[in-house]
């Protein structure tokens, strides 16, 4: 199976060498890796160029964009920039530049795609370092395919019409895969090191964007409150709950465009409620 990887990167010099070392050490090498340097002011581009000179399947592109931090949209826009330069592929990966893969990452995942024709998305799990130990980054359930390590089958990627440019892109893609009757899978034996743990240091505006994303995914106010409460609990931040709900309400009254159709939204709400009831 032909694998194309796109890595959006902005000022990732501190982690990029370890990241790319883990890609070139794979037992099943990707056919191409496109790293898109998005307005970096450090040595990201230079480090990536060094790898590209040694490995013909690694390409480096530069993208000019705003320096403003736009959660979700900026990374998806950068990914889509790289996607335009990919060759023919069976699997398309969106990876971050601050992760380290185990050497058999792609080998084991390709085995899963070959064994199950309905598999649309697959990944390992992210681990962060605490003291001398690598522990699971517990900000989502272990069946959730995290944004930094996503691998899609082309059929699934095309059916969900690619990635949505905004916060929640790495949740709505899974829900739309389910809607289109694709399976999703995480492999717990594939422990990926997340060199820079996901932060919760969002501004009030960015916290509200979480609620906006839930509106755009068609959650409804009750599901939004439940999801926001879970996020606030995991982040140990009561204000996150309030800001997320306020973001949802603002998007509702402004009637912002949604990521999904009415039919897709109905499915997503039913799917979410089914998951909630199964845990009670």
The domain limits of the chain are 3-194, 204-279
Mean pLDDT of the region 50-66: 94
Confidence of residue 199 (pLDDT cuts 50, 70, 90): low
pLDDT for the residue numbered 71: 75
pLDDT for the residue numbered 9: 96
Give the β-pairing of 58-63 and 91-95: unpaired
pLDDT for the residue numbered 69: 66
Q: How far apart are CA 278 and CA 131, in angstroms?
A: 35
Instruction: Indicate if the pLDDT at residue 212 is higher than 60.
Output: yes
Cα Rg, the chain, nearest whole Å: 18
Residues 6+ apart with CB under 8 A from 170: 145, 146, 147, 150
pLDDT digits (tens, 9 = 90+) for 225-234: 999 998 888 7
Residue with token string 């370890």: 18
pLDDT for the residue numbered 202: 53
Long-range CB contacts for residues 271-277, cutoff 8 Å, separation at least 24: 271/175, 271/178, 271/179, 272/219, 272/223, 272/227, 273/223, 276/226
b/e per residue, 76-89, with b = 16+ CB within 10 A? bbbbbbbbeebeeb
3-class SS at 105? helix
* CATH class of the structural domain 3-194: alpha beta
Least confident of 57-71, 88-102, 156-170, 190-204: 190-204
pTM (2 d.p.): 0.93
């Amino acid at each position: 199976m032909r694998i194309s990887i796109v890595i959006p990167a902005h000022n990732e010099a501190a982690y990029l060498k370890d990241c790319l070392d883990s890609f070139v050490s794979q037992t099943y090498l990707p056919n191409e890796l496109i790293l898109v340097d998005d307005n970096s002011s450090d040595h990201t581009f230079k480090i990536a160029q060094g790898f590209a000179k040694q490995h013909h399947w690694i390409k480096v592109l530069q993208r000019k964009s705003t320096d403003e931090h736009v959660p979700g949209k900026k990374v998806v826009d950068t990914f889509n920039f790289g996607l335009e330069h990919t060759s023919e592929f069976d699997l398309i990966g969106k990876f971050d530049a601050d992760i380290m893969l185990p050497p058999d990452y792609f080998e084991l995942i390709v085995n899963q795609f070959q064994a199950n024709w309905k598999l649309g998305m697959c990944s390992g799990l992210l681990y962060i370092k605490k003291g001398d130990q690598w522990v699971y980054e517990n900000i989502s359930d272990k069946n959730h395919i995290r944004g930094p390590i996503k691998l899609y089958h082309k059929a699934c990627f095309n059916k969900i019409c690619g990635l949505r440019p905004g916060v929640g892109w790495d949740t709505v893609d899974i829900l739309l895969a389910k809607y289109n009757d694709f399976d999703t899978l995480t492999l717990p034996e594939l422990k990926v090191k997340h060199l820079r743990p996901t932060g919760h240091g969002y501004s009030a505006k960015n916290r509200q964007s979480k609620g906006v994303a839930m509106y755009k995914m068609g959650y409804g106010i009750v599901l939004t409150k439940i999801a926001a409460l879970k996020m606030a609990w995991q982040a140990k931040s009561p204000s996150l709950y309030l800001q997320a709900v306020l973001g949802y309400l603002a998007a509702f009254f402004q009637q912002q465009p949604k990521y999904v159709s009415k039919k897709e939204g109905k499915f997503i709400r039913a799917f979410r409620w089914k998951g909630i009831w199964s845990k009670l």
